[in-house]
A = this chain, B = another copy of it.
């Protein structure tokens, strides 16, 4: 493989990774709505432990388990921000609806 071919391959992989990250974000939004209905907290340390256990179990390298975990800390953090933003937006919309009715 030449350097250019490697980079084309990376760009292709990145497109798939970004698509999967967004698929994950969509499911996280559904979870956010379900949690809001059930009045559950966004942050659930036990569930996050389960996520880390899953990614560590399936990791076959060359990335080390700690490297994958550090990447996932960022992913989970961004997903939590998205979930909080959406919950806040829904609540605000609900309040506006209440006050206008």
Contact = CB atoms under 8 A, between A and B. Distances in A.
A97 interface: no
A27 interface: yes
A80 B16 CA distance: 20
A71 B75 contact: yes
B21 A68 contact: yes
A36 B27 CA distance: 42
Contacts of A10: 24, 27-28, 31, 51
Interface string A47-69: 10011001100111111100110
Contact of A78 (B26, B50, B61, B70): B70
7 contacts: A1-B30, A6-B27, A14-B55, A17-B24, A21-B68, A26-B62, A63-B82
Interface of A: 1-3, 6-7, 9-11, 13-31, 34-35, 38, 47, 50-51, 54-55, 58-64, 67-68, 70-75, 78, 81-82
